[in-house]
Amino acid sequence: MQPMLGVHHMKLKRVRVKRHTLVFRALHWLIVAEGVTLGLTGLQLGGIWGVRVLPGGTARAVHVIVGLAWFFTALLFTQYFLAEDYKWYSISRIPYSITYMIAEAKAWFGIGPHLEEPIRYDPKKRKYIEKIVPTEAMVWWIFLILGLIIAFTGLALAFPKSFTLVYEIAGGLAAVLGGGPYSMVRAIHRVAAAAILGVVILHAYAAVVFKMLRAITLGYRDEPVAE
């Protein structure tokens, strides 16, 4: 059963809790650093907005090497993440996540009540009753899907002979939408990269709104106590 959505009525009692381990935080920020590098070098390679961060052909080499590093870092992070917190991000929580997102949107536009923070910690049992803001579950799965698309289209662009299946799929789409397999793979890669940038911006905004920055930097957060 999912927690009920509530309206904020009173100040919540809080307790300081170790929310994220050092390994989790290190992997998170490594992925961020790799993502920024990939974004900037990707803009340079695509000739977008005149971005130029590295000389000559260095940008492509860095993009490919960091891309491979990002892929393996993301795999390690996902394995660690699912082992520790899958309970909170499981597919079964997506309907609740959508419901909460709709309620958040209504509150944002002033057509619904402000929501009470759903996170709860039981200091007696030393465990979370609810560890995340529900929309994080949906964001996680969006990240995963977009990340896989970016990874496989990127690998196909870097190593075309080893990823012919990607070009076969892209060729099928190109037959309907126009263009060739290579241009389709590149277009999908760019669209997915733009989409994940949008999700990252929303994720960062939510981290500020729900005061999660200290948790992902120092590891701890003052969590609302379960009554």
Each residue of 199-212: pLDDT tens digit? 999 899 889 988 99
On whether the 14-91+118-224 domain is CATH 1.20.950.20, my answer is yes
**pLDDT score of 80:** 85
Residue the block writes with tokens 């998170």: 28
**pLDDT score of 85:** 87
More confidently predicted of 9 and 89? 89
Residue the block writes with tokens 């949906």: 138
How does DSSP classify residue 7?
B
**pLDDT score of 156:** 97
**pLDDT score of 20:** 93
Nearest residue to 180 via CA among 189, 190, 170: 170
3-state secondary structure of 126: coil
Tens of pLDDT, residue by residue over 119-167, are: 999 999 999 999 999 899 999 999 999 999 999 999 999 999 999 999 9
Assess whether pLDDT exceeds 80 at residue 11: no
Contact predicate 184/177, CB 8 Å: yes
Q: How far apart are CA 40 and CA 54, in angstroms?
A: 9
Partner residues linked to 128 by β-bridges: 121
Assess whether pLDDT exceeds 90 at residue 81: no
DSSP H helices in the chain: 22-46, 58-89, 94-108, 135-158, 164-177, 181-209, 213-217
**pLDDT score of 1:** 45
Partner residues linked to 121 by β-bridges: 128, 225
3-state secondary structure of 131: coil
